[in-house]
Every structure is written in structure tokens, then in C-alpha cells.
Chains A and B, each alone.
Chain A
Amino acid sequence: MSTKVEESIIKEIERIVKDLSIKKVGESVRESLELKLKELLEVKAHGS
């Protein structure tokens, strides 16, 4: 079961991917995904 924080992160990822029409693709997507993965890890490592 995902926590609320995790669900929110997943939603943000969906938004990043869907927002490509207005977002510069490339490194920014990579950076955003990296950030979200780290956020997911932080939630697990330190709790929400």
C-alpha cells in the first residue's frame, strides 16, 4: 500500500511526463525523475 506521500510523488511524476508540451524535454525530465526517485527513497528511509 502506498502512503499518501508516495501517492503524491507518483502524481507529480505523472504530471512531469504529461507536462512535456510546455516543458523543455531532456535533462530537465531526467533531473525531475531523479528528484522524485530520491523523494520516494527519502520517504522510505526517514518516513513521511
Chain B
Amino acid sequence: MEVELRLENVGGFAGTVPPLKLKRGVNVIKAPSAIGKSSVMKGIAALLSLPYYDDVEEEVARRLGILGGPDEPNPLVNVGAEKAVVELKSNEKVMKVVINGGIRVEPPGRGSFLLTSVLSPETQLMRKIMDGDDDISWIVDRLSLSKRYSEAKRILEEFLAEAQLMLHDVEQKRAISSKAKGELKDLKKRKELIEKEIEEIERKASSLPAVSSELQAERDTLRQDYDSIKRRLVELESEKRELEAELKPKEREKRELTRRLNELRRMLKEVSKELEELQRGKRRDQLTRMIKAIEKEIENLGRSVYEKEGVLKLYESAISLVKEKGKAPCPLCNVGTLTSRVLEEKRNVIESELRDIKNSKAGKVAEKSKLYGELSTIDDKFKDLKSHESELKERIKGPENRLIGLSRDIEAISNKYQNLLQETDKLKLAEDDFLRKLKNVERRISEIDEPRRKLYEALGRRREELKGMDGEVRRLSEEIEFAAIMGIRGIYVSMDDAFDITDKWLNILRTEINHLDNRIEEQRVGAVRKFNERIGVLLRGLRLSEFDEVWIDETNLRLVVTRRGGKRRQPVRSLSTSERYALSTVLQLTVKEVYAPEEDPYLLIDGTLPTFDEETGRKSALLNYIAKIANERQWIVVISDIGGKELAVEHFKGP
């Protein structure tokens, strides 16, 4: 079979690479360094492994350069291009991967291809061996069916845990239901007993004598009368309160009016007294009399002034005469001869007297004027008091009239209040009387009715008890009903069926988990045995004489290596680098032989061939062995190797 490999914009190749022909057997991609051998290998690996990877496969894909990191462009696409295409075309089928923004593979590849069918320093197995790790369990579990069975077991265990919870739930509900059923049975028995008791009480009550209708009528009448009195007393109390409410402001007003009236009366009394005192007082008469006397005196003094002025004129004339004639008789009696000096002396005396009289008269006039002033003040005051008295009398009239009206109203209300009090007293006496009579009749009725009443009380209690029981019966019935069915996955089944199904389901799951445990162990052991059988053949085929034995320990899935001639196990970490290369190559080829599906014919070997020594013949041995097994198994092995002048495929036919 021949396969044509077509690459477009893959890795270092810009544009389309001339198709490479791959054949069954060993195909060595030869080219000088940095021409793109690895890009060819990556392209084939991508085509056969994309698009789905688990965590380990994804890690390997990144290391190989098939996938980029998060938010990085795919490293497989040439830096100058938008998309990369890898195509493997045979007569039978076409396989193609297109990588641009996304990845489209037809048909989809197998992620584990990177673990089983690629031999490179970047693959997981080679890295672990180079790191000295001898734990092989991860690849045994991944590449045998044990991983699938473990995964299935985990799912079954989830179902088992859920089923155990379901069973617990079912058992709990069954216990609740069973308890509720027991309680309901007891309750129904108790209920029957109480119903019988009720019948018995009713029978007894109907056989007792009843109270006469006359007595009941008497009690009813008394009660009505008594109630009517009580009602009237309540009404009276209300009316009394209303009257009190009406009376209070009037009394308050009356008190205020009386106070004001007393005040006005006191003021009037004071004014009247003052007036009376003024009227009764002698001062006015005294003043009048004094004024009259003074007026008389003034009149007399005036007359004296006239007389003295006449005399004075006489003396003045006499003095003038003396001056003319040298002598003059007495001017008063016209006798004798008086000298000028005597006359002048006399005239001076008269003038002095006249001045005194005039002064006296002026004093009297002033005194009279003062008395008139006093008299006028008294008259003014009298007038004022009179006016004030009249005003007060007017002011008193209004309150006096209002007081009379108020007193009349208060008296009327007080009379009504007194009537109410009298009626209240009478009714209270009647109330006591009716109450006494009523109690008497009720006592008589009670004496007759007591046994029946006691029976009815007992009946009431029993009926209440029965009502409570009905509620409890309903609650228990609902509880039983609720616990009678169960919803599982939205399907409702009876509790017994739920128990049956859960029990069966648990048994099925346990059986299948047990089966899976056996299968897991079988797979592991089977895979290890197949591996161990094959690795011996490989060691001999590859002439790796430094190893006596290489095998996997079934108990712990660790690699056991014994050097030729060595008596002890050799830890992988203690091997030399070249030994680890050789060992990892052997292991990877064994993995391919043992674990790769038969329908997968491809094996990629990139970057490991130069580690094998040409001179010792180890490289030839490796190529020969691979060619042999490729022929046997119809594999298409692609190996990258340095050499030649340009990219070309050499088909190695083997020995």
C-alpha cells in the first residue's frame, strides 16, 4: 500500500510541499538540518491524533508543537499563512486536517496516538524514563482497558452512593409509615371508646327531669326586669354626667360674675362714701363764709383807701397853699395855722397809712382768690365722683341681670339632678330586690339542672377530645399517605416497590462494580503480561546487551531493570543517559506493539535515531528490527534522519 502525504503551510514550510510517498515498512524522511523534517512528523502526528486530547495527551501535543499555549496561534501553521493542511491519501481513504482559527479533522484522529505511536524526546514515556521515573502504571492504566473500566466504576460508585441514600430515605419513610399506622390503629380504638361514652352520657342526660317552663319563664321575666333596671341605671348615670357637665361651666361663670360684681359694688361704695363725705363736709361752707368775710374786709379797706386818699388830697392842697401864701389852716377842721413842715409830716403819715391799707387789701384779694381756687377743686371732684358713680351703677346692671339668669339656670339643673339622684336611689333598691329574687329562682333551677349540666359538660369535653382525635387521624392518614409513595427520577412508585427497586438496584450496582474490579485487575495484569512477553523479544531483537531483563512488576506496575551480569534490580535513575535512551526506545516500541490498535499502522520516530551509535551497529539493528516488525504488522513507520541535500523519502527495506 502506498500513501501520499501532502503538506501545505505546515511549520517551516510556506506553501505546498511536493507530495511525499509513504509505503508500508520504514520510510526515512531525509533532509539536512533545519529543512523541515520535524514539520513533516508533526503534521502526520496532528492528522492522526487531533482533535480530542486528555490532559497528558494535550501536554505531549504542546511539547511536540501540535498545539499552542492558551491564546497563542497554532504553531503548526506557518507564520506567513492563515491555515495549514495535512493530507494522507491512499486508494482506500483520504485523511485530512485543516488548521486555521479552529481545527477540522476528517476522520477524527485518536489522542492516544501521541502516547502509543510517537517516539520522540518530547513524548511522555521518553521524558519519564529520561527523568529516571520507573512508574509505568499511568501508561498501563491509560492504554489498557483498565482506565475505561475505572471510569465506569467511578460512575457506578456514584450511582451506588446515591442508591444507598435512596434506600436510607425509603427505610426512613417506611419506619415513619409503620409508626404512623400503629398510632392510627390505637387512636381509632380510643375514638370508638369515646364515641360509646358519648352515647351513654346522652342517654343518661335525656332520662333526667327537666326544669319546669313556669320556673324558666319566671327566671326570664326577672332577668328581663333586672336587665331593664340595670340599663336604666346606666342611662341615669349617663344623664347625671351630662347634667354635671352642663352645671360645671355655669357655676364657674357664676363664681366669676359674683367676684366681678363684688368688685364693682365695692368700688361704687367707695365712690358713694367719698361723695357723701364731700357733701357732708363743712369746708365748702367755711370757704364760702370766709370768702364773704374777706369780701367785706376788702370793701371796708377800699372805703378806707378812699377816705385816706381824700385826706391826702386835702393835705396836698394845704401844702400847695402854704407854698403860695406861706400859711394855711388845718385842712380837716379849717382852723389854726399849720406850717409846711407839720403838713408834710402829716401828709407822710397819711401816705404811709394809705400804703398799709392798700397792702392789706391786696393781701385780702389774694387770699380770696386762693379760697375760690380751693372751692373750685372741691366742686370739680364732686362732679367727677358723681359721674363715676353713675358709670359704676350702669356697669353693675349687666352682671346683675346675667347673675340672676345663671342662678335660675343652675337652680333648674340642680333640681333635675336631684330628681335623677332620687330615681337612682329608688332603682338601686329595686335592683337589689330583683337580684335577690333572680338568684333565688336561679338557685332553684340550678338545683334541678345540676346533674344534667354536669353530664353535658362531660359530653362537651368528650366531643372536644373527639375533635382533636379527628385532627390527629387526618394528620396520621396524610403522613401514611405521604410515606406510601416515593418519587425516584420523577417516577412515583409505592414505598414497597421503591424499596424493592432500590434493593435490586444496589445489588446490580454492587455486582457490576465487583465485575469491574475484576476486569480492571484482569486488564492490568493482562496488559502487563503482554508487555513483559513482548519486551524480551525486543531486547533481543535490538541487541541491547547491557540489559539482562526489563519487565513490569505486576504488583506495583513499576519497571524492573537488571543489567547483564547484575544480581540486583537496577533503578532507572541509576542508568546512564544512553541506557535510558535505549530503554525508552524499547519501551515505546513495546507500547506500540502491545497497546496501539491494530487499525493504526503508523509509527513516528523523530529525533531519537541519532542517539543510536552507528559504529556499534545499534542503529542498524534498530532499523532492521523496526523494518522486520513493520513488514510483519503492515506498519507504516516514518523516521526522521539527517542526510541528503533536500527533503526526500527513502524506503528502507531492511536486511
Q: Are B145 and A42 in contact (CB under 8 A)?
A: no
Q: Are B159 and A41 in contact (CB under 8 A)?
A: no
Cross-chain contact B152 with A29 (CB below 8 angstroms): yes
> Number of contacts between A and B (CB, 8 Å)?
59
Q: Is the Cβ of A30 less than 8 Å from the Cβ of B145?
A: no
Chain B residues whose CB sits within 8 angstroms of the CB of A30 once the complex forms: 155
Does B323 make an interface contact (CB < 8 A)?
no
Q: Tell me the complex Cα distance, A41–B306, Å.
A: 167
B162's nearest neighbour on chain A, judged by CB, is A37
Q: Which of B207-215, B334-342, B349-357, B489-497 contacts A (4 or more CB under 8 A)?
A: B489-497
- Whether the pair A17, B512 counts as a contact (CB closer than 8 A) is yes
| CB neighbours of B501 from chain A (8 A) | 40-41, 44
Q: Is the CB of A13 within 8 A of B512?
A: yes
**Distance between Cα atoms of A29 and B149 in the complex (Å):** 11
**Chain B contact residue count (CB 8 A cutoff):** 25
Q: Mark B469-511, 1 if CB is under 8 A from A, else 0.
A: 0000000000000000000110111100110110011001000
* Chain A positions 1-48 with a Cβ under 8 Å from a chain B Cβ: 2, 6, 10, 13-14, 17-18, 20-21, 25-26, 29-30, 33-34, 37-38, 40-42, 44-45
Which residue of the partner chain, among A6, A18, A20, A42, contacts B504 with CB atoms under 8 Å?
Answer: A6
- Distance of A42 from chain B, by nearest CB (Å): 6
Using known A-B contacts A33-B155, A37-B505, determine if residue A42 contacts B148 with beta carbons closer than 8 Å: no
Contact yes or no, B508 A10, CB < 8 A: yes
Is the pair B489, A37 in contact by a Cβ cutoff of 8 Å? yes
Tell which of B155, B493, B519 touches A29, judged by Cβ atoms closer than 8 Å. B155
B151 within 8 A of A: yes
B515 within 8 A of A: yes
Q: Tell me the nearest residue of chain B to A38, going by C-beta.
A: B489
- Asked if B95 is at the interface (CB within 8 A of a chain A CB), the reply is no
Q: Bound state CA distance, A13 and B491, in angstroms? A: 20
B26 contacts A by Cβ under 8 Å = no
The answer to whether A25 and B152 touch (CB under 8 A), given A37-B489, A41-B501, A45-B491, is: yes
A10-B508, A17-B152, A41-B491 known, 15 other contacts, Cβ within 8 Å: A10-B504, A14-B515, A17-B156, A17-B515, A20-B149, A20-B519, A21-B145, A25-B152, A33-B159, A40-B501, A40-B504, A41-B489, A41-B493, A45-B493, A45-B497
What are 23 A-B residue pairs whose CB atoms fall within 8 Å in the complex? A10-B508, A14-B515, A17-B152, A17-B156, A17-B515, A20-B149, A20-B152, A20-B519, A21-B148, A25-B148, A26-B151, A33-B156, A37-B488, A37-B489, A38-B491, A40-B504, A41-B488, A41-B489, A41-B501, A44-B497, A44-B498, A45-B491, A45-B492
